[in-house]
Structures are given as structure tokens and as C-alpha cells.
Amino acid sequence: MHKRILILITTCLILLGQGVKAQDAHFSQFYANPLYLNPAFAGTNICPRIALNFRDQWPSMKGTFMSFSASYDQHFDKLAGGIGVLAFGDRCGQDAAIQSYEASLMYAFRVKVSKKFNMRFALQFSYLANILDTRNLTFGDMIDPKYGFIYQTNEDLSSWNNTTDHSFDFAAGFLGYANLRFCNIYFGYAAHHLNMPYISFIQQERYRMPMKHTAHVGASFDVKRKSNKEHNFGDISLSPNIIFQYQGGLMYMSEGLYLNLYPVTLGAWLRHSFKNVDAVIFSAGIEYQFIRVGYSYDLTVSKLINLTGGAHEVSLQFLLPCPEKRKAIKELECPSF
């Protein structure tokens, strides 16, 4: 039990006090949360799309990481591109001692390179709020060897700001996709925290958020499909994907494969650094009319395998009808979970 508490405290302090090593929260259902992955996905569904996501990281350890997001995006002919809005929240530590919130607005300009190849170039503007509640912090002198956290700390918290730290943030990204006869190919890149905003919880100490780089590439191959215009029951497709992320000196690769047996999608991913394997991710989703529901589980395979309980993630998407007639613009067909 004490070992679990120590791991939790250490992790949160790294995120709090060593900004150069901190990482953004991540979601394992990458394409079920497209605007969080890359702002260039704004409007790729053409018609309005609402995405809701919730992730519970390390559930076996009390007070760990809970992340959630909600987004809306839609393509507008008059703007020659898509508009997206994203709200994100992350709570870390027992009783949410550390909280991070984000509200973003993004625009993705569409360029028709050829009849079958399109690109989108996006900009994102965000407001960030980071909250530290010193009342919920725990320190080593509060621990009793037998009964756990029962004492008051002797730490001097007078130099700690018990308020919200505000900052503005910028991101950019691009996306390319080709609709070919037997497959669809897509690739993209996104850079978050371009201005590396400052975070300050302790007076006279300020840390800059490191930039996050995300590169992704994938394809969807039709094995069996009745119609090119819409999906039908029994359609079969395979979708291999690779995602690379780098932030604050830490690098992660995720390789995955989706098997779509419409309306059901099954997926398996491997997430690792160049030195260690972190987790194997299993996912399942179902699509019915305008609703998509997905669930995934991260099976930890690192040295923390017996402590964390992995991670649970749930996604919900609503694909709404277009409010007016649209030009003949084909939506991007990529994984939904």
C-alpha cells in the first residue's frame, strides 16, 4: 500500500515541479478524440460531430489520473474549412490536488490538391487553467508507518500559490488524405504548446510546458464492401496505424490494427518507448446510425503491472445530420475508436 502511495506522490510531483519532463494526458482511443490528437481533424466528418471521452488511469491506486474531454466540429463551405471547439480536463492526486483545464478553438483550412487527395492546415488557440490545492497535498512527514497519513505536515506552504495559474497556448497541424479505389490513406502532424506557456505554482519559480510533437499515419483497406457511398452490415475492413509522440525528452510509439466488421470494430495497439514496452491496448466499439460507442483497456506490461490496474477509457460520438445542403466533399474515412 505504501509503495503505491509513493509512486502516486512521485508521479504528481514530477508533473508539478519539473515542467521540462511533464507530459500531456493521453487517450488510447486516438481517433475517437480526433481534435485532441490533431486540430487538422476539425471538419473532416463534414457534418456536425460531437465527441465525449473519459479516461481513468491507474484505477488501482487511489486518487490517480482522470481525464475527460468534449468536442464539437463541423465543415463550413463558406469558410472553406472546418471549425472545432474542445474542452479538456485532467485531475491528478488524491482529492484532485492538481487540476488542469483547457478550452480550445481551432480552424482547419481545406485544400483540394487533386480529385482524390485533400489536405487540411489547422491553427488552434487555447486558454489553460492549472489549479493547485495545497490542502490536498501529502508529504512524507504525514505518514505513520502503521496507520498511513494521519499527521499534519511541517512543510512551509506560505510560498505556494493556492490559486489558478492562467495562460494562453497555441497549436498547429496538418492532415493529408487520399480516397483511392481499394483503400484510404491518411497522415498528419501536430505541434502543441508552440509558445511553451509558463506554469507557476510556487512563487519565484516558473516552468515552461514543453512542446508536444505528434505524427500519425494510417490506412483503411476494404476486404468486403457492398457500396462505396455508405457502410452496410457485414462490410469488412482492416486499418493499420502508427502514431509517434515526443514531449519533454520522452518518446512514445503506438502501433495498432483495427478490424472493422460493420457495425463492430475491434482493435489492438502496442505502446512503447524505444527502451521499454508500456502497455498493450485492447478496444471495442459499435456504431449504430448516428451513434458510436467505444471502450478500451490499457494492459500495463511494464514493472508497474501489479500496481496500477491499467487504464479504462470510454468514448461516445454523435454524428449529426448536416443542417443544409453540402457540396460534394467526401469525408475522411479513418478509424472511429
Report residue 220 as a C-alpha cell: 483503411
| In the chain, domain spans | 2-211+313-319
Report residue 310 as a C-alpha cell: 491499467
pLDDT digits (tens, 9 = 90+) for 283-308: 999 998 899 999 999 998 876 666 67
Does the structural domain 2-211+313-319 have CATH classification 2.40.350?
Answer: no
Picking from 134, 100, 103, 126, the residue whose alpha carbon sits closest to that of residue 203 is: 134
Considering only residues 300 and 16, tell me which one the structure prediction assigns the higher pLDDT. Answer: 300
| Helices then strands, each counted (H, E), the chain | 2, 18
Q: What's the mean pLDDT in 245-265?
A: 94
pLDDT digits (tens, 9 = 90+) for 41-50: 999 999 999 9
Considering only residues 173 and 276, tell me which one the structure prediction assigns the higher pLDDT. Answer: 173
pLDDT digits (tens, 9 = 90+) for 159-215: 565 567 889 999 999 999 998 877 899 999 999 999 999 877 655 566 788 999 999
Residue carrying C-alpha cell 487553467: 129
Say what the pLDDT of residue 6 is: 44
Considering only residues 194 and 151, tell me which one the structure prediction assigns the higher pLDDT. Answer: 194
Mean residue pLDDT of the chain comes to 84
Say what the pLDDT of residue 202 is: 57
Alpha-carbon distances, residue 238 vs 99, 195, 258, 259, 277 (angstroms): 38, 38, 6, 5, 24
Say what the pLDDT of residue 233 is: 85
Say what the pLDDT of residue 2 is: 42
Burial pattern 133-156, b for ≥16 Cβ within 10 A else e, equals eeeebbeeeebeeeeeeeeeeeee
Picking from 108, 92, 111, the residue whose alpha carbon sits closest to that of residue 100 is: 92
Q: What percent of the chain has pLDDT over 70?
A: 79
pLDDT digits (tens, 9 = 90+) for 77-128: 999 999 999 999 998 866 667 888 999 999 999 999 998 899 999 999 999 9
Q: What's the mean pLDDT in 329-337?
A: 76
In angstroms, the CA 175 to CA 127 distance is 24
